[in-house]
Structures are given as structure tokens and as C-alpha cells.
Structure 1
Amino acid sequence: MRALAATTLLCLSLIGCASVPMADKQADAEAKKFATAQDMSRIYIYRNEYFGAAIKMPVVLDGNILGKTVAHSYLYTEVVPGPHVIAADGENTEMLKLTTKAGENVFIHQQVQMGFVSGRSGMKVVDAAEGKAGVLECEMIEPQY
């Protein structure tokens, strides 16, 4: 049964990509300047991999839907500095608690991992160099908030 689920998930990841509304090129280019207001923080959540391409992963920030990530996409938002909770749903619900600082960019790498029935979400905070490189490989999703 597990082998069948794994094979199905692999096939789905190779068949095609899920789609979500993408931001316009100008908004994408502006976000990739990584300029943050001195009194705010920016959070970037990106998926720069093809594995799980057919899977949309909903992302929630502090109880509000931010959007759904797909392969080679990213979401970003400006937040008030302080504690925040980011949740991503798949076969599991991955929760990440972090505290942002004014003027800071926070980069979160989201991965789709193989699950039993569907894809599982994994998230981790990465350093600025890795995060910027990952975001530059992706296209910005139109925020849903």
C-alpha cells in the first residue's frame, strides 16, 4: 500500500504543475530587491524544487491565509516585528514559530516531502544567502490576504 502511494505521488509530481494566481512581473521584481522598511519585517516562504509539482500547499500566517505555494514559487509579506506562527498544510500540518526583528528579512524554505497518501509539508528557516538564492529561482504568487 505504501509503495502504491509513493508511486502515485511520484507520478503526480511528474505529470504537471499545479497552478495558482501569479503576481505581475513588476511586483515580483520589486520583492526580489529584498528591501524592508526599518520598522517592519519581511517573511519570504519559497519552494524552489520540482518535487511535488502537482501539489498546492496552503500557507497560513498568524491565522490568516497567505496563499498556496507550488513548485518554484514564493510568497512574501511584511509584518510587524515580533512573534509569528506560520502553518502549512499537507498530509500533515507543519507549524513554525519565529520572532522577527525590525528591518529584517526572514527566509523559510518549504519542501514537499513524500507522505502516505499525499505530500507532507516541511519548513525551515534558512540564512539570508540561501534564502535570497532560493527566492531568485522562483516566481511570486499573488497574495490572498
Structure 2
Amino acid sequence: MSNKVIIPLLLSLAFVGCASVPKADQQAVQLQKSIQAPQAGNAGIFVYRSNNVIGSALKKDIWVNGQCLGETARGVYFYKEVEGGKPHTVSTQSEFSPNHLSVSAESGKNYYIQQYIKPGVFIGGANVKLVDEAEGKQAIEKYSLAVAGTCYKPSIELPKS
């Protein structure tokens, strides 16, 4: 390869980094991971961002029912208890507008939602998908609990039903 290709490639790699968000202290992480089921009448929602290299320099907001849960980065998750027996909307920031996922939360159950980065026109967008319990638990075991409450927009408007 010529130097005209190698040098710009090396320079661009030097400017690529990983986004980071504040993480909960180790005691809070252990307490949260030891909880097997949500409180009576509630459901648990875990939202995690996979540890993929794609989009690792991006932070993306997550909202539950239009309220800020926090900013995600690679290898982190959030946990939120919600009222059971009703639908809840998990939303993520994307390139042009938020993407939404409706989850009919049954009391006593945990739900695992993966946020993933997808290619965009100008910058990577994000989307969310519901994953099965085995896959979600495996991811949560490896990832760090993020501190909730910091979003670019503190709340968003939900889609009309």
C-alpha cells in the first residue's frame, strides 16, 4: 500500500475513540444484579447497549415512557421498574427522529431490550429490539450499570396510539 493511503488511515484511527458514560458504583451494581424479580405489581426493563465496535464513539439517549433513562455507551445497561400489566414505550435517539418499541409488561417479569447502532446518512442512528431472557441476562452479566438521568433531551413526545 502506498503512503498516501496508510498515513491518512492511521491518522483517522488515532481520532476514533469510545464514548463513555458515568457508571454506578460496584455496590449498586452487585445489589441490582442480585435482584431476581421486580417488586410486586411491577415489571423490570433492562436496556443495554452491545459491546460492538460499530458506533462505539457515539452516545445515544434512551427513554422509557418519554422520560429520560440515560445516555448509553458501549457495554453499559440501565434498569427501570415499571408498572406491570400495561404497555410501556422504550425509545432511543436516532439520526433524524427517535425510534420506539412498545413492551406489554407483565407483572413479575423482566424484559431485556438491546439498543444497537445502525449506519446513517450523516452519523450512526440507533434502534431498540426486544431480546429473549437468556441473551439479555448474558449481556447484563458482562456489562456495567450506568448512572441514570442524563439525556440530550430530558423527555420526548411519544407516538400517538
TM-score (norm 2): 0.77
Q: Deviations over 1:4-34 (max 9, x none)?
A: xxxxxxx68x821112111111111222234
Match of 1:26 in 2: 27
The 8 Å contact of residues 45 and 75 in structure 1, kept in 2 or not, is answered as yes
Match of 2:159 in 1: none
Aligned residues: CA RMSD = 1.7
Task: Answer yes or no: is 1:117 the counterpart of 2:122.
Answer: yes
Structure 1 segments (4+ residues) deviating >4 Å = none
**Alpha-carbon distance in 2 for matches of 1:52, 1:123:** 14
**Alpha-carbon distance in 2 for matches of 1:113, 1:27:** 31
Match of 1:3 in 2: none
Task: Answer yes or no: is 1:83 the counterpart of 2:83.
Answer: no
- Matched AA of 1:43: I
Counterparts of residues 1-145 of structure 1 (less than 5 Å): 15-35=16-36, 36-49=38-51, 50-81=53-84, 82-92=86-96, 93-144=98-149
- Matched AA of 2:93: D
- Matched AA of 1:58: D
Q: Deviations over 1:39-72 (max 9, x none)?
A: 2111000012232111011011111101011000
Query: 1 or 2, which has the higher strand percentage?
Result: 1
Identity fraction in percent: 32
**Alpha-carbon distance in 1 for matches of 2:34, 2:55:** 28
Q: Which runs of 5+ in 1 are unaligned?
A: 1-10
- Matched AA of 2:46: Y
Q: Relative contact order: is structure 1 or structure 2 higher (C-alpha 8 Å, sep ≥ 6)?
A: 1
Q: Which runs of 5+ in 2 are unaligned?
A: 1-11, 151-161
Shift in Å, 1:110: 0.9
Q: Which has the larger radius of gyration?
A: 2
**Alpha-carbon distance in 1 for matches of 2:35, 2:95:** 32
**Alpha-carbon distance in 1 for matches of 2:50, 2:143:** 6
1:15 partner SS: coil
